[in-house]
Amino acid sequence: MVVPLAAGVVALVGFAAVAGPGWLLLGGADAIEASNIALWLVLALASVVAAWASAGGQAVIMAAAAERMDGRDASLGAAVAVARSRAGRLLEWAVLATVVSIVLDQLEQRLGVVGRIISWVGGMAFSVLSFLALPVIVFEDVGAIEGFKRSSRLLRATWGEQLTFGFGLGILTLVAILPALPVAFFAAASGILLLQVVGIAVAVAWIVAVVSVTSALSAVFKTALYRHATGSPVDAAFGAGDLSGAFRRR
The CA distance from 221 to 219, in Å, is: 5
- Are residue 193 and residue 123 in the same domain, yes or no? no
- Are residue 74 and residue 137 in the same domain, yes or no? no
CA dihedral 14, 25, 36, 93 (to 10 degrees): -20
Q: For residue 200, count other CB atoms closer than 10 A to its CB.
A: 16
- Are residue 177 and residue 246 in the same domain, yes or no? yes
- Are residue 219 and residue 146 in the same domain, yes or no? no
Q: What is the 3-state secondary structure (H, E, C) of 107-127?
A: HHHHCHHHHHHHHHHHHHHHH
The model's pLDDT over 5-63, given as tens digits with 9 standing for 90+, comes to 899 889 989 889 988 887 777 665 555 554 567 777 888 899 999 999 999 999 999 99
Answer whether residue 165 shows pLDDT above 90: no
pLDDT for 239 equals 65
As for how many domains the chain has, the answer is 3
152, 129 contact by CB (below 8 A): yes
pLDDT for 90 equals 95
Best CA proximity match to 221, nearest among 76, 62, 8: 62
Reported as a pLDDT band with limits 50, 70 and 90, residue 166 is very low
- Which of 48, 65, 84 corresponds to the end of one domain? 84
- Are residue 173 and residue 152 in the same domain, yes or no? no
The model's pLDDT over 68-122, given as tens digits with 9 standing for 90+, comes to 888 888 888 899 999 999 999 999 999 999 999 988 888 887 888 888 888 888 8
pLDDT for 250 equals 47
pLDDT for 149 equals 92
pLDDT for 30 equals 59
- Are residue 2 and residue 65 in the same domain, yes or no? yes
61, 135 contact by CB (below 8 A): no
- Are residue 175 and residue 249 in the same domain, yes or no? yes
- Which of 137, 159, 181 corresponds to the end of one domain? 159
Query: End-to-end alpha-carbon separation of the chain, Å?
Result: 34
Which residues, 6+ apart, have CB-to-CB distance to 23 below 8 Å? 31, 39, 42
- Are residue 75 and residue 39 in the same domain, yes or no? yes
Answer whether residue 161 shows pLDDT above 50: no
pLDDT for 36 equals 63
Q: Which of 1-10, 56-65, 159-168 has the highest mean pLDDT?
A: 56-65
Best CA proximity match to 11, nearest among 43, 62, 46: 46
Q: What is the mean pLDDT of residues 197-213?
A: 88
- Which of 24, 59, 84 corresponds to the end of one domain? 84
Q: For residue 104, count other CB atoms closer than 10 A to its CB.
A: 19
- Better-predicted residue by pLDDT, 162 or 217: 217
pLDDT for 113 equals 82
Best CA proximity match to 221, nearest among 65, 74, 57: 65
- Are residue 104 and residue 66 in the same domain, yes or no? no
DSSP string, 143-173: -HHHHHHHHHHHHHHHH-SS-EE---HHHHH
- Are residue 148 and residue 178 in the same domain, yes or no? no
- Are residue 151 and residue 198 in the same domain, yes or no? no
The model's pLDDT over 218-246, given as tens digits with 9 standing for 90+, comes to 898 889 888 888 888 777 777 666 666 65
Answer whether residue 129 shows pLDDT above 90: no
- Are residue 15 and residue 69 in the same domain, yes or no? yes
Q: Which domain holds residue 169?
A: 165-250
- Better-predicted residue by pLDDT, 170 or 249: 170
